[in-house]
Amino acid sequence: MSTAKKFAGQTAIYGLSTVVQKLLSSLLTPLYTYAYNPKVYSIFSTMFSYAAVFQALLTFGMETTFFRYLNKYQDSKGQVYNNSFWVVFMVSIVFLLFTMPFTHTIAGLIKIGRHTSQQEFELYVKYFVAILVLDAWCSIPFAKLRADGRPVKYGAIKLVNVIITVTLNLLFIILIPYCIKNNLVADAWLRSWFVPGWVGYAFLSNLIASFITLLMLLPELLTLRIKFDKEMFADMLKYSWPVMVAGLSYIVNENLDKILLGKLLPDTISEREVGIYSGCARISIFLSLFNQAFRMGAEPFFFSHAKNKNAGTTYARIMDYFVITMCVMFVGVIANIEILKYYVRDSSYWVGLGVVPPLLLGYVSLGIYTNLSIWYKLSDQTRYGFYISGIGAIVTIVLNVLFIPKYSYMASAWVSFLAYFSMMVMSYVWGQKHYPIPYNVKKNLVYIISSVIIVFLSFSVFKKNLIIGNALLVLFAGAAFMAERKQLMAILKK
């Protein structure tokens, strides 16, 4: 099988499963924005923002480390699996010990606005602690399925998780209220415990789905042994902690803006502004989804292909088509934003649509950084991931603190782009110095700059006009195809 075909196959399988999962999950955004006004939705986004930060801590960079050490210790794969899982397990136990006794204090720290009581936030914290631990225990078994080349089982379990989450949300938000309102079966019993409009049901649905996912991964968990290779263990920790910090910095860039909006804006408007920003930011899920799908297939491939003498050329070619795809998607989303805005059902959110272009451009930069970051992972110089992401996190924190009080969520959107852009540039400069890869920089810049100009014209000059926006999209995509047709035909022939 050719390299191009192998990479395309792996990315397509993981990508398809990720797309299906995300499409099902995406049903929740219109559901939540229909059921909850921006003030209530802000609770949802705030809790998941905190959860994302702690999830990066709990996995401790062990997913990337697992793939790297499988390639490094091909005769000791079982031991690599054991070491990776028990690191995550021990970190999660420490996390439990430091959170469960202090849920009251934690709830007081993360609570925003005046809409929700302290007692409710305490319950939300307990739900999320349990979700985080269960998901952490699942992370390495999921990585093992990817490493073992079992994408069907991987995708099936992920799909079941999403189906359970969506089904329970529909049950709590739509079906039960409908039964109560129309005096249907068991309506008296439902009234005895059901709390209308309670956002906690969304969190409870996630908790149940996470527990069932852990049960489905029992076959992988039962292959674990309480056995450590101390030398390998120490080496893995040395490799993983910069990866963890790099991942944490990415999560900070992705989620801290929502947290800071809730803390830096006055109580009278913080909930509404966080809700509007979070709701409109969900429209950028289309590029985020592609980034995630690409990473799922690309990371194992990059590691397994590292020893090939033409690896650098392969990585550069992958970057070319990744940039083109991202730029076409960037233009496509903005060209159709007047349709895609209905993804956020309540029109009271639409005042924040201006955040979408900078957020999408940020995802383009992030995707390129994801490609570029392979150099420090392959060369075992993960400290550079720590430096790059750390600087990105500092940019996020400092600029948000400076500009949120004056510009609210528009500041957060532009700061997100600037953070990812700075990370992309730093990774390229350091990467070419320590692990040169012959990227086609000029060509990629032409596509990126062209897409930015077209997006500006579509969104600001032509005021989101569907016909003009899609005409520009067709011209851009057609020009890209004509420019790349010879290379594309050569790949297809292979």
Query: What is the per-residue pLDDT for 22?
Result: 64
Query: What is the per-residue pLDDT for 375?
Result: 83
Q: Are 363 and 422 in contact (CB under 8 A)?
A: no
Query: Domain containing 428: what range?
Result: 3-493
C-alpha distances in Å from residue 311, one per residue of 3, 171, 185, 382? 10, 50, 63, 19
181-184: Cβ within 8 A, 24+ apart: none
Task: Provide DSSP, 85-117.
Answer: HHHHHHHHHHHHHHHGGGHHHHHHHH--SSSS-
**Exposure string (b/e) for 259-290, b if CB count within 10 Å is 16 or more?**
bbbbbbbeeeebbbbbbbbbbbbbbbbbbbbb
Q: Are 86 and 228 in contact (CB under 8 A)?
A: yes
Q: Are 287 and 281 in contact (CB under 8 A)?
A: no
- Which tokens sit at 254? 């992705």
State CA 350 to chain mean position distance: 23
| Tally of structural domains, the chain | 1
What letter does residue 344 receive in the DSSP assignment?
Answer: S
Residues in the chain with pLDDT values less than 70: 1-26, 113-115, 249, 296-300, 304-306, 490-494
Encode pLDDT of 56-69 as tens digits: 888 888 888 888 88
- Distance between CA atoms of residues 169 and 149, nearest Å: 32
Query: What is the per-residue pLDDT for 426?
Result: 94
The pTM score is: 0.77
Encode pLDDT of 375-430 as tens digits: 887 777 878 887 888 888 899 999 999 999 999 999 999 999 999 999 999 999 99
**Nearest alpha-carbon partner for 321 in 455, 194, 183, 491:** 491
- Distance between CA atoms of residues 450 and 375, nearest Å: 27
Angular region, 344: left φ>0, alpha ψ -120 to 50, beta rest? beta
**Nearest alpha-carbon partner for 261 in 68, 152, 400:** 400
Angular region, 37: left φ>0, alpha ψ -120 to 50, beta rest? beta
- Distance between CA atoms of residues 321 and 446, nearest Å: 13
Query: What is the per-residue pLDDT for 492?
Result: 61
Q: Which residues contact 116 (CB under 8 A, 6 or more apart)?
A: 43
State phi, psi for 194 to the nearest 5 degrees: -75, 135
State phi, psi for 198 to the nearest 5 degrees: -80, 120
Type of residue found at 250: Y
**Nearest alpha-carbon partner for 223 in 141, 289, 333:** 141
Between vectors from CA 30 to CA 25 and to CA 33, what angle results, nearest 5°?
Answer: 120
Structural element, H or E, at residue 476: helix 466-493
- Distance between CA atoms of residues 97 and 311, nearest Å: 45
Type of residue found at 298: A
- Distance between CA atoms of residues 124 and 76, nearest Å: 41
Q: Are 43 and 274 in contact (CB under 8 A)?
A: no
